[in-house]
Structure 1
Amino acid sequence: MLKLLSAAFVALALLVSSPLIAATPAEQSVEMVNKAIKHYQTVGKDKAFADFGDKTNKEWVDGEWYVLVVDANSGLALAYYDPKMINNPAIPDLKDVEGKFIIREQIAAANKAADGGWVSYVWRNPATAKLAKKQSFAKKFDDKVFVVGYYE
């Protein structure tokens, strides 16, 4: 009986300590958007936006994983790892190589449902410096659209 209990305990410990299935990139994107919104609520706009743009802060900018925040009305970028994008008047009309209006579609996806929506487009992966298909999750909060995505 003791051997059986020991084996069950070991199996349970392994199950709890190591997930059977890692989160998918889609789940990670949704989780990171929700985490960014929570951070924004907790520390305020200025601190959150500074954190989202800080390339040394691996919590918010790590290779292909980063947060974009755009104004839901104007489409201007408010937070991003590349400071040239912030408040740049060209950003609302930004198109991918296939002619898709990226920011407009992100705002539309976020406006469709309270729990957010998805947009697919082609963008340069900062981790590889190559163009790749990207899936981005966009969610509206406080007249802002928070966006995180993954590259296929």
Structure 2
Amino acid sequence: MGISITVNGKRHLLAAAAETPLLYVLRNDLQLNGPKFGCGEAQCGACTVMLDNDATRSCVFPVGAVGKAQVTTIEGLGHGERLHALQKAFLAEQAAQCGYCSSGMLIAAKALLERNPAPDQATIRREMAGQKCRCGAHNRIVRAIQRAAKELRG
């Protein structure tokens, strides 16, 4: 029995148990290594992906529960010469040091900007509080999200 999911706009038929964490399917079956395994308990945010427009911790989300939702990983946000405004802003603000949290940070920021295209600094800090950065780049991350929001608004 297979599970069918759409990831980054492409449909996949998987031979995975429904209770398998989405993160494991993304990394092991689809070779999408952007989402990271951090804590395995939905606490750090390194595994964050978007299900439709909602930031979701893929380390605890069963692949069988994806249903018809569209899964977006960092690989689907932008790449190479076609970076998303958030990725450009993270680079410009030097918002990554080690980079381990960046995938989850960027996806969570994308979900935030989908809900609120003009968040103030306090809103960004509150909404991103669940995404952990051990390097201490928090101020740069906030600036990057503000920069991207401004660019996306035109």
Q: TM-score, normalised by structure 1?
A: 0.26
The higher radius of gyration belongs to: 1
Choose between structure 1 and 2: higher strand proportion: 1
Q: TM-score, normalised by structure 2?
A: 0.26
